[in-house]
Amino acid sequence: MQTDTTSTAPELPLHFRVAAVQMVSGPDVEENLAAAASLIGEAVAGGAQLIVLPEYFAIISADETAKVRMREPAGEGPLQRFLSETAARHGVWLVGGSVPLQATTDGKVRNTALVFDPQGKRVARYDKLHLFGFRKGTEHYEESRTIEPGEEVVAFDAPFGRVGVAICYDLRFPELFRAMGDVALIVMPAAFTATTGAAHWEVLLRARAIENQCYVLASAQGGTHPSGRRTWGDSLLIDPWGEVVARLASGPGVVIGDIDRLRIAAVRESLPALRHRRM
């Protein structure tokens, strides 16, 4: 008997429009959600089918324990409802840059990126693995005081291919991105400081795109926040050759561009570095 081996799986689209939302979030959660909703609407109007919000899109406060007080159980809470309902209302893939979820340690949260499909169903959860620590003069950050690190590398299936998820400080650890496997896109919600962003943001993003021969979509906080904190911004879409497709330097707004599967294939064919790996 002859077996029919013809695949019935749908072909992946050659082009898929994505967007990064850039914000300057403050301590008022309702104001931040309203701003996020407006910018998501702008991205949808521009044809975006996958939209990424920045890290801490719902709150950036001078009081680092504020996010601990508003932490949510996994699967319920106003921030998760906002993401689910917004994704379903617009019929888009939505990556919620980071949401404070309950941790196993009292007084801490998981800094979590949640991914919702166009029906509003959560399809992926990534808990930030690497916690930022920095000290220079009077500038000082120590995320481990209020955040519990995650344990797992996360990627999910989108209509155009696999998508790896990382958050902000993760950008400095290339082994994380190798562990994602073969991905067409890496999404990078962030709130890079102005100091470290000016020095390293673009070069690290371009390096991750070049190394993994995939697109990188970075959604940033970008400006001076009510607390006085300054974030670098410069939300970017970078192609597999390391070229910048679209960017927004500072202030609230949206970066829109296309994932081109033919571009990925062409880069990997002309320079098959991923096939040449020996470790």
pLDDT of residue 180 exceeding 60:
yes
Which whole-number Å values give the CA distances from 21 to 105, 145, 172, 190, 210, in the listed order? 31, 28, 22, 11, 23
Instruction: State percent of the chain over pLDDT 70.
Output: 96
203-234 pLDDT, tens per residue?
A: 999 999 999 999 999 999 999 999 999 999 99
* pLDDT attached to residue 237: 99
Note the pLDDT tens digit of each residue in 67-122: 999 999 999 999 999 999 999 999 999 999 999 999 999 999 999 999 999 999 99
Is 136 marked active-site? no
pTM: 0.95
**pLDDT at residue 236 greater than cutoff 60:** yes
Task: Please answer whether residues 51 and 257 qualify as being in contact, where contact means their C-beta atoms are separated by less than 8 angstroms.
Answer: no
Q: Which of 67, 108, 148, 168 is catalytic?
A: 168
pLDDT of residue 3: 37
Average pLDDT, the chain: 95
Domains (ranges, CATH) in the chain? 15-271 (3.60.110.10)
**pLDDT tens digit sequence for 116-168:** 999 999 999 999 999 999 999 888 889 999 999 999 999 999 999 999 999 99
Of 108, 128, 143, 148, which residue is the catalytic one? 128
SS (H, E, C) the chain: CCCCCCCCCCCCCCEEEEEEEEECCCCCHHHHHHHHHHHHHHHHHCCCCEEECCCCCCCCCCCCCHHHHCCECCCCCHHHHHHHHHHHHHCCEEEEEEEEEECCCCCCEEEEEEEECCCCCEEEEEECCCCCEEEECCEEEEHHHCECCCCCCEEEEECCEEEEECCHHHHHCHHHHHCCCCCCEEEEEECCEHHHHHHHHHHHHHHHHHHHCCEEEEEEEEEECCCCCEEECCEEEECCCCCEEEEECCCCEEEEEEEEHHHHHHHHHHCCHHHHCCC
Q: Is 67 a catalytic residue?
A: no
pLDDT of residue 279: 85
- Tens of pLDDT, residue by residue over 1-50, are 333 444 455 688 999 999 999 999 999 999 999 999 999 999 999 999 99
- Residue 11: predicted pLDDT: 84
